[in-house]
Amino acid sequence: MRLSRLSRLAPPSFSERLFLMLASLAALALVSSCSAVKPAGSPAPAPAPMAPEAKPPAAALAVSRERPEHAQAKVPVSSADPQWGSVDAPVTIVEFSDFECPFCSRVGPTLETLKRKYGPEQLRIVFKHNPLAFHRHARPAAEAATAVFMLAGSDAFWLFHDRVFAGQQDLSPENYEKWASEAGVQGPSLKTWLGSGRPAEKVDEDMAVAKAVGATGTPGFRVNGVVISGAQPVDKFVEVIDEQLAAAKQLAAAGTPARLVYSTLTDKNFVEPRPAAPPREEAEDPKVWAVPIAADDPQRGDKDALVTIVVFSEFQCPFCKRVESTLEELRRIYGKDLRLVWKDNPLPFHPRAMPAALLARQVYKTRGNDAFWKLHDALFESQPKLEDRDLEELVKAQGLAWPALIPALTNEKLKARISESMEQANDFQARGTPHFFINGRRFSGAQPLEAFKKVVDEELAKARALAEQGTPRAKLYAEIIKEGALPPPPERKKVALVAGSATRGNASAKVVIQIFSDFQCPFCRRVEPTLAELDKEFKGQLRFVWRHLPLPFHAHAQLAAEASEEVLAQKGPDAFWKYHDKLFEAQGVDSGLDRASLAQMADELGLDMARFKAALDNHVHAAKVKADADAADAAGINGTPAFVINDYYLSGAQPVAAFKKVVRLALKDPKKP
């Protein structure tokens, strides 16, 4: 469907809001300093720090790149989108991308080849964000890139874009600030504009466009409306581009002006995506869950309340903020019969959620329950402004000393306490925030007041019946959850260790983690920082053992595994792990794991290259790789990454909390394989 139809059901688009701002921005430009940022697509000087209410001149004033007809096309583009190439180029590639997606990184060299081949007069590339939900860093990276574009235009955006993909293994707010500075946007301006919420709005709009045109995965491309899915070879793009150049030439010969070519061809080529199947209504969880309440869980309301709502939440989540007014109304309605219990669950893709949680925990620890809830309310009121300077203003406004609270932001004991709460959320499958247990009954999301009231009223009636039967109010919650469901224990698998595997860590450690992995698997690459964090927390207590499981649909995985074994044979475990790191780094690079690249990386480690070549030619290590794969198959392991932690089993690139829980269990019950 056309986005114009979509916009009838939604607030004005980012582009429309920018046009409405145009007159006031022009007036602002007259009174601004001469250091104002140049229009999008122009080389931009570093902008001066921006006041919170300043408007972004870069994208808003890029009238020269605006074609209203393009914004009305079935794949809409406008000056609010980062662009490379002429606005009237006969072929436009609209790229839907995700900064954490390894395949998006891999397609970068292909697009550079296309730029060189066709040039900016024949080809335009337009970037739209589509951060996938399971990539925790993708959304923050997208918002930072959008802020850079808004402040400094397309040239700055593409520079930042390249830095992010080059540093895909180390996506963090600190690096976004560093890369933005290299692109000409200084930290204070970046943070201010991120805090305004406008970059988030633009990312939301891009995602809505992706959904409307059927771009559900990344990378996804629309070449004058023609679909190309995934990191396809350059020849596939060339085939489509050449067809579209010929079609554009025919239109021009028939008198179609250049400004109408994109919308004309896109509307002709566009195929309406199939409507998604209606989502199945999630069945209500009938269980009562035995969610424990710790002595140091902040509580609001009487401890002998008839109904207890356990709240797994965090301070940066907009849905958590939205539900706060509902919870407050519930407290007003039910009074002493209702108690709220707070449990931290800062989500990893909300970078300011953890600092806010640490600060609130420290205030709870030093100033008590009432001070916690006062700060809790102020944090939600301040959202999305949760940078350190915002936190400082919040605590000062409440009469608290900021210098005394700064250490809380790096306090390992506080982090460990919050990690326990996060592990508990994982145990009870409280996925996402906000998530509730109402007298042990699961209740998910920022639902309407009436939905809460229905469950609370049902639980209130049950609790009153128990009280009338003689259960003291103070013991009601414990009685209600006494027979409640507990999290299932971790799955167990027995996999014997084999001699000759690459290992690292303490050789006599109580806990052995066997890693079944594939050097071409993006999820295996993604879990590597989690394993590093695990090693740091349990320093000296873990031993990691590498086991190969190259999947058949990964063309380079088998040879990469054999190459790593030759590195181990020639240079030992230290060289193996260095080669392991190189292989995962190369995963996001075009042809990064082909035979020539495997040899180059081995040469960099000083291997005997004649011996290395012979080992690969003769598949000297194929039997060892197969033995690992056979061991996995015998244990029922058929995907990567997979982990056998002593005899506990974890599958997939799970959160660090899931690993910590299993490691602690293994430390208590050290049954080594």
As a three-state string, the secondary structure of 193-210 is: HHHCCHHHHHHHHHHHHH
C-beta contacts of 469-474 below 8 A and 24+ residues apart: 472/304, 473/304, 473/305, 473/306, 474/303, 474/304
pLDDT of 660 strictly over 60: yes
Q: Which two tokens stand for residue 22?
A: 């145009």
Edge to edge, the sheet with strand 338-344 lists 299-300, 338-344, 307-313, 435-438, 441-444
d(CA 74, CA 86): 20
User: DSSP 3-state assignment of 289?
Assistant: strand
The mean pLDDT of the chain is: 86
Edge to edge, the sheet with strand 542-548 lists 503-505, 542-548, 511-517, 642-645, 648-651
- Amino acid letter, 12: P
d(CA 349, CA 351): 6
In this structure, what DSSP letter does residue 233 have? -
The pLDDT value recorded for residue 6 is 36
pLDDT of 13 strictly over 50: no
What's the predicted TM-score (pTM) here? 0.51
CB 253 within 8 A of CB 270: no
- Phi, psi for 441 (deg, rounded to 5): -90, 130
Edge to edge, the sheet with strand 83-84 lists 83-84, 123-129, 91-97, 220-223, 226-229
CB 213 within 8 A of CB 222: yes
The pLDDT value recorded for residue 57 is 39
Query: What would the mean pLDDT of 618-647 be, rounded to a whole number?
Result: 94
The pLDDT value recorded for residue 276 is 54
Least confident of 66-75, 236-245, 433-442, 470-479: 66-75
In this predicted model, which residue has the larger pLDDT, 297 or 398?
A: 297
How many angstroms from the chain centroid is the CA of residue 62?
30
What pLDDT band is residue 9 in, cutting at 50, 70 and 90? Answer: very low
Instruction: Please list the alpha-helical segments (H only) found in 409-496.
Output: 412-427, 449-468, 476-481
In this predicted model, which residue has the larger pLDDT, 399 or 9?
A: 399
pLDDT of 358 strictly over 60: yes
Query: What would the mean pLDDT of 644-663 be, rounded to a whole number?
Result: 88
Query: Left (φ > 0), alpha (ψ -120 to 50) or beta: where does 445 sit?
Result: left
Query: What would the mean pLDDT of 397-409 be, rounded to a whole number?
Result: 90
The pLDDT value recorded for residue 672 is 62
pLDDT of 8 strictly over 50: no
Query: What would the mean pLDDT of 240-267 be, rounded to a whole number?
Result: 95
What pLDDT band is residue 426 in, cutting at 50, 70 and 90? Answer: confident
d(CA 130, CA 215): 9
Centre a 10 Å sphere on the Cβ of residue 561 and count the other Cβ atoms it contains.
25
Per-residue model confidence as pLDDT tens digits over 578-589: 999 999 999 867
User: Residue 102: is it exposed, middle or buried by C-beta count within 10 angstroms (0-12/13-18/19+)?
Assistant: buried
Cβ-Cβ contacts under 8 Å for 490 (sequence gap 6 or more): 648, 649, 650, 661, 662, 665
The C-alpha torsion from 225 through 226 and 232 to 234, rounded to 10°, is -90
CA-based nearest residue to 229, from 239, 215, 240: 215
Name the percent of the chain lying above pLDDT 70.
88
What pLDDT band is residue 66 in, cutting at 50, 70 and 90? Answer: low
Least confident of 206-215, 575-584, 607-616: 206-215
Name the percent of the chain lying above pLDDT 90.
67
Q: Which two tokens stand for residue 452?
A: 């809460």
CA-based nearest residue to 363, from 319, 314, 398, 328: 398
Least confident of 318-322, 331-335, 454-458: 318-322
Could you give the domains of the chain?
Answer: 3-269 (3.40.30.10), 299-481 (3.40.30.10), 503-668 (3.40.30.10)
Query: What would the mean pLDDT of 328-349 be, rounded to a whole number?
Result: 93
Query: What would the mean pLDDT of 411-427 be, rounded to a whole number?
Result: 89
Least confident of 120-134, 279-293, 373-387: 279-293
- Phi, psi for 248 (deg, rounded to 5): -65, -35
CA-based nearest residue to 518, from 599, 620, 639: 639
Count helices and strands in the chain by DSSP H and E runs: 27, 15
The pLDDT value recorded for residue 46 is 33
> Could you tell me which residues are beta bridge partners of residue 515?
546, 643
Q: Which helix (H) or strand (E) holds 223?
A: strand 220-223
The pLDDT value recorded for residue 27 is 30
User: Residue 63: is it exposed, middle or buried by C-beta count within 10 angstroms (0-12/13-18/19+)?
Assistant: exposed
pLDDT of 510 strictly over 80: yes
Query: What would the mean pLDDT of 217-235 be, rounded to a whole number?
Result: 93
What pLDDT band is residue 331 in, cutting at 50, 70 and 90? Answer: very high
Per-residue model confidence as pLDDT tens digits over 562-574: 999 999 999 999 9
DSSP conformation letters of 307-370 = EEEEEEE-SS-HHHHHHHHHHHHHHHHHGGGEEEEEEE---TT-TTHHHHHHHHHHHHHHH-HH
What pLDDT band is residue 655 in, cutting at 50, 70 and 90? Answer: confident
Least confident of 74-83, 85-94, 279-288: 279-288
Per-residue model confidence as pLDDT tens digits over 431-450: 788 999 999 999 998 899 99
| Max avg pLDDT among 28-32, 386-390, 426-430 | 386-390
Per-residue model confidence as pLDDT tens digits over 595-605: 999 999 999 99
Least confident of 31-40, 148-157, 539-548: 31-40
The pLDDT value recorded for residue 286 is 83
Least confident of 18-32, 105-119, 176-190, 193-207: 18-32
The pLDDT value recorded for residue 612 is 97
Query: What would the mean pLDDT of 202-216 be, rounded to a whole number?
Result: 92
Q: Which two tokens stand for residue 660?
A: 């910590």
d(CA 135, CA 522): 11
pLDDT of 550 strictly over 90: yes
The pLDDT value recorded for residue 275 is 66
User: Residue 130: is it exposed, middle or buried by C-beta count within 10 angstroms (0-12/13-18/19+)?
Assistant: buried
Give me the residue label for tokens 């209203």. 68
> Could you tell me which residues are beta bridge partners of residue 517?
548
d(CA 444, CA 480): 20
Query: What would the mean pLDDT of 55-60 be, rounded to a whole number?
Result: 38
Query: What would the mean pLDDT of 408-412 be, rounded to a whole number?
Result: 89
What separation in angstroms does the CA of 408 have from each of 136, 378, 421?
A: 24, 18, 17
CB 665 within 8 A of CB 513: no
What pLDDT band is residue 163 in, cutting at 50, 70 and 90? Answer: very high
CB 493 within 8 A of CB 649: yes
Least confident of 115-119, 243-247, 358-362, 408-412: 408-412
The pLDDT value recorded for residue 378 is 96
Query: What would the mean pLDDT of 633-637 be, rounded to a whole number?
Result: 93
Centre a 10 Å sphere on the Cβ of residue 273 and count the other Cβ atoms it contains.
14
What pLDDT band is residue 673 in, cutting at 50, 70 and 90? Answer: low
CA-based nearest residue to 313, from 347, 351, 360: 347
